[in-house]
Structure 1
Amino acid sequence: MIVLTGESLTMEQMRCILYKGEAAAACPQSMERVRRCRKVVEEIVADEKIVYGITTGFGKFSDVLIGKEDTQRLQQYLIQSHACGVGEPFPEEVARTMLVLRANTLLKGYSGVRPDVILLLLELVNRRIHPVIPQQGSLGASGDLAPLSHLALVLIGEGEVFYKGKRQRTAKVLAKEGLQPIVLQAKEGLALINGTQAMTAMGVVTYLEGEVLAYQSEYIAAMTLEGLRGIIDAFDESIHLARGYPEQTRVAQRMRLILTGSKLVTNQGDLRVQDAYSLRCIPQVHGATWQVLGYVKEKLEIEMNAATDNPLLFADGDKVLSGGNFHGQPIAFALDFLSIAMAELANISERRIERLVNPQLNDLPPFLSPQPGLQSGVMILQYVAASLVSENKTLAHPASVDSIPSSANQEDHVSMGTIGARHAYQITMNVRRVLAIELICAMQAVQYRGVEHMSAKTRGLYKEGRKIVPPIVKDRIFSYDIENVAKWLQAEKREIV
């Protein structure tokens, strides 16, 4: 059981909730803060004080006063009118993450919601009822308004959910589970949709996928090194300590560990003096990606525990402040950076693929073909990798450098962070397929060299990989192989060293 406090949610806890079936619960002390804050909102409504989003309209309508008899309808209209998302829905694990993050931020006790709102969010998490949330439509400031409105619809019994593998009407599923939708009270609709939880959730899932891929890329690169009789000296600790980046040094250390006992790697001068950069510079390039992953993890964990709605209530109601914590710029920058770092893992992988298939760059059969000329072998697999890498270059253009004013220029600068998050996720999916292609090619190369000469660790990967992709004895439809390996890599939610 993961206990949410509003202060201490970690990436590892999110991994447990997403991939290990852990349930989530609210910390009792945090819920007491929530109750105290809620009393403040009720007093504001009773006294008809002028407070943004509680007794006023929203955005450009912030000067329109709302009577206390209309505060409930104000919140319901807010959710319905802002549920304007379009396009394909977010993956279920992203919607699940959004539920957890929204509950966690409300538990900080600055938002003014009733405990019932948080409890229903957690019921949805624990019963695996995931809102259908369209991916497109957020500007990444004023919060992820459109996506989070689709999440909030589910709490009031509207919209759709994913439930037991099917897309269904919310009201039907809640009734089946014996859950009652809530009637939103003052401030609650605004508290649910003012925030960065869509971009942050997509960022969390992308980070977790990217971290696993970064480890897998080292293992796959090690097999490629064996297939090309690469030079192990490039990973000597002295080289990497001399530069000083700890991430680079750790990559080199893991590469040495993976390749321990291999009779396929060589020493400088045995076959050649130096390898190409895509082999020799694995620690430098992959290590730089690890630096970015560390930065992104730090920013995401801050945002996972951040109060991001508006207004916020402090000092037991003595201060009710309007600000801009919903602005997604910190996460927009981080996820644009993640896009670049993950794209580079694919860039260097594609160059290793080229060295595996190009007869001008190795002594293996051309394109690893069983009958060069009659059969094309893996020729077109490299084309596919090149296409994915090129697509990533366009997706890696930073979304955070763009801004378009909204709400009659009241909201005149936005982050576009959710677009950046979606691009980072797409890039990561492409990276997985490029690595799948490298693994297919590397397995074929080491088979020519002699599997018995591999290191114990790469031989273990080879044996598992061959359960997914058989040896290439004649041309076949390789699309199936690529997708099957990619799915297998995605299923491996573990560090493989």
Structure 2
Amino acid sequence: MTTLIVGEQPLSIKQVVQVAQQQMPVALPSSKEWRELIQRGADFLDQLLDEDGVIYGVTTGYGDSCLVEIPKHQVNELPLQLSRFHGCGMGENLDLVTSRAVLLVRLCSLARGYSGVSLALLERLVWMLNENIVPVIPSEGSVGASGDLTPLSYIAGALVGERDVYWQGQIVPMQQVYQHYQMEPLCLRPKEGLALMNGTAVMTAIACLNYKKAEQTAYAATLITALNVLALEGNPSHFDEVLFAQKPHVGQQKIACILRQVLNSEVQTERQSPRLQDRYSLRCAPHVIGVFEDSKVWLRQFIENELNSSNDNPLIDPVNLRVLHGGHFYGGHIAQAMDSLKLMVANFADLLDRQMAQLVDHKMNHGLPRNLTGAEAERLPLNHGFKAVQIGVSAWTAEALKQTLAASIFSRSTECHNQDKVSMGTIAARDATRVLVLTEQVVAALCCASVQAIHLRGLTEQLSPVLQQFVAWTLQSFTLVKEDRPLQYDLQQIVDRFEQLQLLNSAWFNQVENADVR
């Protein structure tokens, strides 16, 4: 596997996802220039301490306690105290993949050289990632400024051997892992506790994973729409190239282009649609999905700029030898990105929910069996096909829509009114994750229902190659429904395969990703 070098070049969302999924090891730069930059920052801090300089969070207390002077003989204890009193996280733990992403994002920020940390700290973070020794991080307890203090304290705590970690498929005390490797816990230098904890790594890591999931969910929704145009005997002229040239949103045009490409099969060229206009959930699908496609540019910019930033406080300028106090821990850009992302993704769920309603309702599905049942005639009275699945889709969609209230507008003054305007970026990111989970469940249900409908129409062999691949992908986890049976496990298997990003690597995804709008 290619090794990702962290410290000199900007990282991408894709690289964060790859490392989170254990597809790529990491290393630090070997260049003399980078190592000297890191060392100068650490040496400058030592110089200030020797000269009795006042450094926030190093020779003072934290936040509103910044006026509390720390005696010189206690300075080295302060980072340990910081990690300990922030150990109050609650809620579900971040899973292994998300926690790996957090670890990499924090490493990326610190390795830029403006946080005053030692090479030894950066090397220990690299070791943890490559050995897959990952802090167990509770998900709740951050207001997104002063960064993700409480969740990030679990990285600092693990480094010093005082927290639990994921290791070899179990959750174990980090002290046990150190004993196994015959290693000593890391002794944090005076600013290193603050440097680890005072930043936006948790919200940014979650945002990276959410972005990739949203991207593949958008393409799945596009291909499901194509199947449903066929299954409902829809009108493919709604995606006409000249029509979409008159409304020049490039992302919207791209979704229409993909629909034109995947609907370009014999079944479409040989028959005419019985209707002039389909209902909006078919006709306007490019307009719904295209909002995200057009927003990807600024979403990626917001997330990757935050990823490649020094976002703790104070920053240590290793070039001009200055201590810079500011507010880069504020996660406003991630909050905005995630609040917007969850709106777009919830609209995918709503779009597919309406398509599902058409598929199962014999008054709207143009001759398909009631509830898409595949039962033989004599068994029809007993069988109800996708009736309950449609109810589930409605429930998941409603919950996703309910989650779309912006978290970033709920700033509240905290920490003795020192943190009197905060971003709520981590809560926004977690909300977006929940919306994605619910929408993936909707997508899974529509994968099954749409494939069932195509089968009932007898169109399976007449699909374009991309749609055939998509149907085959779905049938790896779904068996066509003839007699009623529980579908929970079929649906969950499809959701799980989304989470593993298998869709992202498949041939059909690459084909539609490279679609040319022209």
1:419-458 correspondence runs (5 A): 419-450=427-458, 451-458=460-467
1:32-431 correspondence runs (5 A): 32-263=36-267, 270-314=273-317, 316=319, 318-362=321-365, 363-369=367-373, 370=375, 371-431=379-439
How does the TM-score come out when normalised to structure 1?
Answer: 0.96
Contact preservation (8 Å) 2:20, 2:98: no
Amino acid aligned to 2:340: F
Distance 1:129 1:484 in 2: 27
Contact preservation (8 Å) 1:230, 1:265: no
Please state how far the C-alpha of 1:444 moved relative to its aligned partner: 0.9
Task: Output the aligned Cα RMSD.
Answer: 1.6
SS at 1:143 equivalent: coil
Contact preservation (8 Å) 2:113, 2:318: no
Distance 2:493 2:407 in 1: 31
Find out whether 1:464 has 2:473 as its counterpart. yes
How does the TM-score come out when normalised to structure 2?
Answer: 0.93
Distance 2:398 2:6 in 1: 41
SS at 1:468 equivalent: coil
- Comparing 221-230 and 80-89, the one that deviates more: 221-230
SS at 2:91 equivalent: strand
Contact preservation (8 Å) 1:225, 1:265: no
Distance 2:488 2:392 in 1: 10
Please state how far the C-alpha of 1:270 moved relative to its aligned partner: 3.3
Contact preservation (8 Å) 2:86, 2:153: yes
Contact preservation (8 Å) 1:350, 1:386: yes
Q: How many residues align?
A: 496
In structure 2, relative to structure 1, the CA distance for the partners of 1:372 and 1:490 (3 Å cut) is: farther
Amino acid aligned to 2:295: V
Structure 1 runs of 4+ with >3 Å offset: 177-180, 264-267, 315-318
Distance 1:20 1:132 in 2: 17
In structure 2, relative to structure 1, the CA distance for the partners of 1:436 and 1:265 (3 Å cut) is: farther
Residue 484 of structure 1 aligns with which residue?
493
Distance 1:299 1:7 in 2: 17
Distance 1:346 1:164 in 2: 36
Contact preservation (8 Å) 2:178, 2:184: yes
SS at 1:42 equivalent: helix
Distance 1:131 1:274 in 2: 54
Contact preservation (8 Å) 2:41, 2:318: no
Distance 1:144 1:97 in 2: 14
SS at 1:135 equivalent: strand
Distance 1:288 1:105 in 2: 31
Residue 515 of structure 2 aligns with which residue?
none
Distance 2:498 2:104 in 1: 26
Q: Return 5+ residue gaps in structure 2 as ranges.
A: 513-518
Please state how far the C-alpha of 1:315 moved relative to its aligned partner: 5.4
% same residue = 31
Contact preservation (8 Å) 1:400, 1:417: yes
Amino acid aligned to 1:295: W
Question: Over residues 184-218 of structure 1, what are the superposed CA-to-partner deviations in whole Å (9 max), with x where a residue is unaligned?
Answer: 11111011100000111111111111112212221
Residue 27 of structure 2 aligns with which residue?
25
Distance 2:42 2:59 in 1: 15
Distance 1:6 1:77 in 2: 32
Question: Over residues 90-127 of structure 1, what are the superposed CA-to-partner deviations in whole Å (9 max), with x where a residue is unaligned?
Answer: 12111111111111111111111111111111111111
SS at 2:267 equivalent: coil
Distance 2:206 2:251 in 1: 25
Amino acid aligned to 1:447: H
Contact preservation (8 Å) 1:45, 1:186: no
Q: Return 5+ residue gaps in structure 1 as ranges.
A: none
In structure 2, relative to structure 1, the CA distance for the partners of 1:163 and 1:266 (3 Å cut) is: farther
Distance 1:278 1:117 in 2: 53
Contact preservation (8 Å) 2:38, 2:318: no
Amino acid aligned to 2:488: S
Please state how far the C-alpha of 1:396 moved relative to its aligned partner: 1.0
Distance 2:491 2:284 in 1: 26
Distance 1:448 1:124 in 2: 52
Residue 516 of structure 2 aligns with which residue?
none
Contact preservation (8 Å) 1:203, 1:335: yes
Question: Over residues 408-454 of structure 1, what are the superposed CA-to-partner deviations in whole Å (9 max), with x where a residue is unaligned?
Answer: 11111111111110010111111111011111111111111112222
